[in-house]
Each structure stands twice: as C-alpha cells, then as structure tokens.
Chains A and B, each alone.
Chain A
Amino acid sequence: DTEVTQTPKHLVMGMTNKKSLKCEQHMGHRAMYWYKQKAKKPPELMFVYSYEKLSINESVPSRFSPECPNSSLLNLHLHALQPEDSALYLCASSQDFYNEQFFGPGTRLTVL
C-alpha cells in the first residue's frame, strides 16, 4: 500500500467552528507532514512529525493544532480560522528526511 489518504476531501467551515482534518498512511513511514497550499503557489510546510513527535512547527498560528496519535495517523485540528486560511491542505509521509515524500490528495478547506 503506497497511498496516503486524507479526509474529508472538501470542508466548509465558519470562523467559530471546530473541525479536524485526518491523514493516514500504512507504508511504515516514520515522518509525516502537514502543508498548506494556496492557489498557484508551492506547498508551505506547517508541521513535521518524526517518530510521532513534533519536530518542526514553522511558526504556524495556534488556531492550527496538529496531533499524531500513532505512527500511521496524523490529524490537524482547526479552531477559529480566518478566511485567509482557505487553502488546499496536504498531508505527506516519508521513510526518513532524505527520501521522497508521498502526498495525499489534499483537503480543500473554505473558511467563511
């Protein structure tokens, strides 16, 4: 299984809502990533987990809260988002930091 899955595919939320994005991989990868991608731009790294511990937080606002319950799952909890947070959120995983990352299909988030 060489697939990274993400749910939901689409999410519309108000600024007062709380929601979560989910990501799953069964490739035995020990590094997992969250990216934010705006239209016509490359992905921007938000968080990196290595062996289920947060390794990198690229100064992301606290309204985004990552969680790694186990080596196969990665969540992104969303609370009190702003309209400018609307974007495609991509999850990725890799065997280690030297190897290629496998990306999920993304969640298209719209904040009203």
Chain B
Amino acid sequence: AQSVTQLDSHVSVSEGTPVLLRCNYSSSYSPSLFWYVQHPNKGLQLLLKYTSAATLVKGINGFEAEFKKSETSFHLTKPSAHMSDAAEYFCVANTGGFKTIFGAGTRLFVKA
C-alpha cells in the first residue's frame, strides 16, 4: 500500500534558524513528490516538486527538498525561518494513479 508519513505533527523554530520538516513515503513505484504549504483558511500552495529529475529540488521562498530513494525520504528544509513561514505543510505523493496521497501535515511555528 502507498503511504506518506510526516514524522512530526508540530515543529517549532526561532526566526532566523533552520527549518527541517520530515517526510517518508512508501510506494511500489517511483512517485512524484510534492510539498505544499497552507496558511490558515487558505488553499494549498505548491512549494516544490520532485519528478525523477534532480534529487535536490529548489522551491519557492527559499525552501529545498532532497529525494533519497534509499531512505524513502523527501525532507523539506530552509536555511533561515521567517515569521511568514508559520503555516501547515503537507507532503504529497502521486504514483500515477488517480489518487493523490497526503501526509497528515506538520504545523510549523516560528518564534520571534
């Protein structure tokens, strides 16, 4: 069965410090992987995507993610957190079927 696991339900960082949001996936096939961000009462915005090209993917707003097939991971990082990064983050997998698989989400808190 295919699944996406976000290892932390909440992450709290101080402004200006690095961010790490962890995501593992399980799939019989090589999936397309995505990170989305959702601010309160808003829709989801795509941060970045992996589709079997470069394993290090750069996204918007300074976010990056690295696809590691051996670890089945796709962790999201940012060198320096900003207050505006406080939001819910979803790791998402698409294995080519109709269904898109969402992780449970990680709430990022950024302290001043």
| A residues adjacent to B (C-beta < 8 A) | 4, 6, 33, 40-43, 45, 48, 50, 55-56, 88, 90, 92, 97-106, 108
Contact = CB atoms under 8 A, between A and B. Distances in A.
A92 to B, nearest CB: 8
6 contacts: A90-B43, A97-B94, A100-B32, A101-B100, A103-B36, A106-B42
Interface of B: 32, 34, 36, 41-46, 49, 51, 90, 94, 96-100, 102-105
Contacts of B104: 41-42
Contact of B103 (A40, A42, A99): A42
Contact of B98 (A55, A90, A102): A55
Given A42-B102, A42-B104, A55-B98, A100 B49 contact: yes
A90 B41 contact: no
Contact of B100 (A45, A104, A108): A45
Contacts, number: 53
B5 to A, nearest CB: 12
B41 A97 contact: no
Given A42-B103, A42-B105, A97 B98 contact: yes
A106 B97 CA distance: 24
Best-buried of B36, B51, B100, B102 by chain A (most CB within 10 Å): B100
A52 B42 CA distance: 26
Contacts of B34: 100
Contacts of B90: 42
A100 B93 CA distance: 10
Best-buried of A41, A99, A100, A106 by chain B (most CB within 10 Å): A100
Given A97-B94, A98-B51, A99-B32, A56 B99 contact: yes
B41 A106 contact: yes
A103 B44 contact: yes
B96 A98 contact: yes
